[in-house]
Amino acid sequence: MVDAFFRVLALTRKELLQIFKDPRSRYSLLIPPILQCLIYGYVATYDLNDVPYAVLDQDHSAASQKFLAALDGSGVFRRVANLNRSVDVKTTINERRALLVVQIQPDFERRLLSGRQADVQVIADGRNSNTAGTAMGYIGEIVESFNASWRKEQGEPNPPIRLTTRAWYNPNLETRWHMIPALIGTLTFIQTLLLTGLSVAREREQGTFDQLLVTPFRPVEIMAGKALPAIFVGIVQATMVLLVAQLWFRIPFAGSFITLYAGLIVFLLAAVGMGLLLSSVAATMQQAMLFSFLLMMPFALLSGLTTPVSSMPMALQYATLINPLRYAIDMAHRVYLEGVGLDLLFPQLWPLAIIAFVTLSGASWMFRHRLT
Amino acid sequence: MMQVSAAQERLLRAKLHRTGCLIRKETRQIVRDPSSIAIGIVLPVILILLFGYGLSLDVTEVPVAVVVEDPSPAATELAASFRLSHYFDAQMTTSMTLAQERMLSRKVDGIVRIRPDFSRLLNLGNAEVQVLVHGVDANYARIIQGYARSAVGQWAARRAAEGFTLATGPVVVQSRMWFNEANESRYFLVPGLIVLIMTLIGALLTALVMAREWERGTIEALFVTPVRTDEILLGKTIPYFILGVIGLVLCLLAAKFLFYVPFRGSLTVLIAASMLYLLVALGIGLLISSAFKSQFVAIQITVLVTFLPAVMLSGFLFDLQSMPVLVRVITYVLPARYYVALLQTIFLAGDIWAVILPNMAVLAAMAATLLVLSYRATRKSLA
């Protein structure tokens, strides 16, 4: 037993040396995760802060000026053109000079002053309908506050009902708060999968795997020697993402670090198990890499990272049940933002434990049977 | 005179023969290696199905708890407008504690609360509807808030029509979304997918294959044969170019016959744009592999400079205009940006030359530069 422990330790040491000795592989494990974290943090957001728009003001009245001032003063909308003819609307949108065109009818002020309803046309470039929809939503909010202040000035009563909204766990609804904790799972998943997948495939490709087999190592020990370094690297990377989240983006951490790391270890076992299983199928490094890529893409897409799992069709929602990343992202959100303890993480932990158990025992079976 | 041209012809024929042999060797390698087929054909098909059927930014039937603490007709009517909306899967309750428990266990994603004094305050002109959302997925939460606003707005409009004094407006927005009237996220996800697949095959697969030749030293073995640098490059790239074209055709067929994405431009322009982008991607793949000469590093770098930007920094999902200035500057050197603009325009808007020509010009310039650079890089390492 003690011998086995020392053998695993020796193999772990050799693996870690192999990973960190080569400066290129050292940097490629450390720099890309931090870079990705920063890029995702700044870029991966559906919030808009600069929307170029054009105006076709057919009224040219004090009221229309005031309305446009409300748009210009919002800090989000930037007027790039004042159009004079309605035919210009088409070219402005077609040639992507503006995302929106706001069209004000000639009787805008007259209708407002006489207490009637005045329409404002908003035409959006729907080539990216998500962006266009978000921009329209912003316009709606600005119009609402314009209406309120107009009524106030005219001495009209406010509508008797108002909507107040509040968001749990993410008061300003920042996409970043959703994205960065999710990266704790996503980035470590990608790296551990690649690392374990490659380390066995490399030995096999270079013929050193056969040499390992004639040593006193048992297959389980070889597996442990391959798994431990990858888990270690995964923990280091998760910590780096966590540091970026806390020190750079300053996203408040609601839970306990012990809970987070305990959950991470279960998740990493599942990820490493997948990597090992994959490497036992792959004959060369190239195959290992391509197969892990083939696995990673659907896992990342079906994890809830970019689109909510609940919006997927039922069949795919079932498919996400075997996706370790889905549980890892859930777990990271729940601990990081909601602050739940280990007892409430149970729904995420047991599927991960089952995935880890199945993949690890599958991999060790494959190890033994590919050897003979 | 005749003899010279005959000699030239012989040389050319030999050249073509050598290139042809290399192409055949590379093609066999692709066909026989299950992993290349996996990336070249299987992954595109999986991605097409996932993007077309699985991913959706369109949210319907959001599970919400509607807490009605006021039994008055006005409150019941308001609650009904949530129940009848197909955007919500409303679960009626009278207990706020129960609703909060359901939200904590994520059985619902939002709570609409109509307080006990709702109808009294409504008569005083000061009623309030509270909407609580689970904010972890911020984008989703915003959508729920928007739906709630419109459900309340519809109720208010109905009451106004029934003669209750309930002023809406005075300014009312009439909005129209051009090119995608029904607001289907599939319409921009599927064209964006083509960018991902072209990047995957063009850059990733090529980088990996060339890096392997460098890593194993087999490229040096190629150098001592009579084949020349340009022939090696052609022999390596043509099979992957063809694989890329197959991926493109698969995507186009799926877009048209599976997902019914409108196609308003011309096929010729689309194919021309795709060829240019594929050349750019191949050039990047060749350059990275000859610069790093290791499969592991090559795949890391390729994912970092081609694949991730194609998802994140291309305008495919996230709006370029809203990115920080520094990031926006970076996007200008990324080819995916131009290809996404081209695809979105050709698919949804039509042949708008003011958009197509500048973007094509940039891609053409990039392709030329990259191919010359990768030619140099391959030749230089020979010495």
Q: Which B residues, 264 through 323, put their C-beta within 8 Å of a C-beta on chain A?
A: 292, 294-297, 299-301, 304, 308, 312-313, 315-319, 321-323
Neighbour count for residue B226 (Cβ, 10 Å): 8
Residue B31 lies in a domain: yes
Sign of the dihedral through C-alpha A151, A152, A158, A162: positive
Q: What is the pLDDT of residues B317-340, one digit of tens each?
A: 888 888 888 888 989 999 999 999
Using the 3D structure, point to which of B103, B126, B161 is the last residue of a domain: B161
pLDDT digits (tens, 9 = 90+) for B179-206: 888 778 888 888 888 998 899 888 988 8
pLDDT for position A315: 85
Strand order in the sheet with A118-125: A77-83, A51-57, A100-104, A118-125, B171-178
The reply to whether B244 and B342 lie within a common domain is: yes
> Which CATH number characterizes residue B132's domain?
3.40.1710.10
Tell whether B168 is covered by a domain. no
- Tens of pLDDT along B98-144? 999 888 888 899 999 998 988 888 887 778 888 999 888 888 888 88
- Give A11-22 pLDDT, tens digit per residue: 888 888 888 887
In tens, the pLDDT along A97-153 reads: 999 999 998 989 998 888 778 889 999 998 888 888 889 888 888 888 888 888 888
Please compute the mean of the pLDDT values over residues A289-296 and round it to a whole number.
84
- What pLDDT, on the 0 to 100 scale, is given for residue B340? 93
Q: What is the mean pLDDT of residues B219-247?
A: 83
**DSSP secondary structure string for all residues of A267-329:** HHHHHHHHHHHHHHH-SSHHHHHHHHHHHHHHHHHTTTSSS-GGGS-HHHHHHGGG-HHHHHH
CB < 8 Å to A40, chain B: 312
**Residue B128's beta-bridge partner residues?**
A162
Q: Note whether B75 and B117 are within 8 A (CB).
A: no
CATH architecture of A51-154: 3-Layer(aba) Sandwich (3.40)
Contact A112/B171, CB-based, under 8 Å?
yes
Q: Which of A43, A165, A286 sits opposite B212 (nearest CB)?
A: A286
Is A96's CB within 8 Å of B341's CB?
yes
Q: What is the mean pLDDT of chain A?
A: 87
Query: Given a cut of 50, is residue B169 above it in pLDDT?
Result: yes
- Name the residue among A50, A164, A284 with its Cβ closest to that of B128: A164
Q: Among A151, A287, A307, whose Cβ lies nearest the Cβ of B56?
A: A307
Which SS3 state, helix, strand or coil, does residue A339 take? coil
Residue among B298, B280, B372 at smallest CA distance from B334? B280
Q: What is the pLDDT of residues A139-172, one digit of tens each?
A: 888 888 888 888 888 777 666 677 778 888 888 8
Q: What HEC string does B105-164 produce?
A: CCCCCEEEEECCCHHHHHHHCCEEEEEEEECCCHHHHHHHHHHHHHHHHHHHHHHHHCCC
Domain tally for chain B?
Answer: 2
> How close is the nearest chain B Cα to the Cα of A303, in Å?
10
Rounded Cα gap, residues B58 and B338, in angstroms: 26
Q: Are residues B98 and B209 in the same domain?
A: no
Cα R_g (chain B), whole angstroms: 29
Position A69 pLDDT exceeds 80: yes
pLDDT-derived band at A208 (thresholds 50, 70, 90) equals confident
Q: Are B113 and B191 within one domain? A: no
Residues B216 and B273 reside in one and the same domain: yes
Q: Are residues B222 and B109 in the same domain?
A: no
Residue A96: C-alpha distances to residues A93, A126, A136, B174, B353 (Å): 5, 11, 17, 21, 11
Domain end point (choices B104, B127, B161): B161
What pLDDT does A371 receive? 54
Q: Which two tokens stand for residue B161?
A: 């029509």
Tell me, what's the pLDDT at A173?
83
pLDDT per residue over B327-374, tens digit each? Answer: 889 899 999 999 999 999 999 888 889 999 999 999 999 999 998 998
- Predicted pLDDT of residue B383: 44
Residue B380 reports pLDDT greater than 60: no
Q: Is pLDDT at A370 greater than 70 in this prediction?
A: no
Residue B178 lies in a domain: no
Examine the domain organization and report whether B370 and B242 are in the same domain. yes
Same domain, B85 and B205: no
Sheet holding B127-134, edge to edge: A161-168, B127-134, B110-114, B62-68, B88-93
pLDDT at res. B167: 52
Write out pLDDT tens, residues A217-232: 887 888 888 899 999 9
Which chain B residues are Cβ-neighbours of A173 within 8 angstroms? 133, 135, 138, 141-142
The per-residue pLDDT for A372 is 41
Return d(Cα B335, Cα B314) in angstroms, integer.
8
- State whether residue B202 is helix, strand or coil: helix
Task: Give the pLDDT confidence of B23-45 residue by residue, as tens digits.
Answer: 888 888 888 877 777 777 888 88
CA distance B269 to B292: 35
CA dihedral B213, B216, B220, B221 (to 10 degrees): -100
Of A28, A131, A301, Cβ closest to residue B50: A301
The C-alpha of A47 sits at a distance from chain B's nearest C-alpha, in angstroms, of 8
Q: Contact B62/B106 with Cβ under 8 angstroms?
A: no
Same domain, B100 and B45: no
Give the C-alpha distances (Å, rounded to integers) separating B232 from B170, B198, B199, B371, B379.
Answer: 70, 22, 21, 13, 10
Highest mean pLDDT among A348-352, B146-150, B233-237, B316-320: A348-352
Q: Whole domain around residue B137: which residue ranges?
A: 62-161
Given this model, what pLDDT does residue A252 score? 92
Domain membership of residue B347 (yes or no) is: yes
CA–CA gap between residue B225 and residue B211 (Å, rounded):
19
In a domain? residue B214: yes
**Is residue B34 located within the same domain as residue B74?**
no
Q: Higher confidence at residue A45 or residue B67?
A: B67
Chain B residues with beta carbon closer than 8 angstroms to that of A312: 54-56
The most confident of the ranges A264-273, B66-75, B301-310 is A264-273
Can you tell me whether residue A100 is helix, strand or coil?
Answer: strand
Predicted complex ipTM: 0.79
Exposed / middle / buried, residue B221 (Cβ in 10 Å: 0-12, 13-18, 19+): exposed
| Closest Cβ opposite residue B177 in set A40, A132, A169 | A132
Q: How far is B60 from chain A (nearest CA, A)?
A: 7
Most confident range, picked from A223-232, A285-294, B155-164, B228-237: A223-232
Mean pLDDT of the region A180-192 = 90
Instruction: Specify the residue for token string 């993949």.
Output: A359
The arithmetic mean of pLDDT across residues B57-86, rounded, is 87
- Segments of chain A assigned to CATH 3.40.1710.10: 51-154
A354 versus B162: which is more confidently predicted? A354
Q: Is it the case that residue B270 has pLDDT exceeding 90?
A: yes
Residue B235 pLDDT grade (very low, low, confident, very high; cuts 50, 70, 90)? confident
**CB contact B82 to A (< 8 Å):** no
Contact B184, A130 (CB under 8 A): no
Same domain, yes or no: B126 and B199: no
pLDDT at A158: 67
% of residues, chain A, pLDDT over 90 = 33
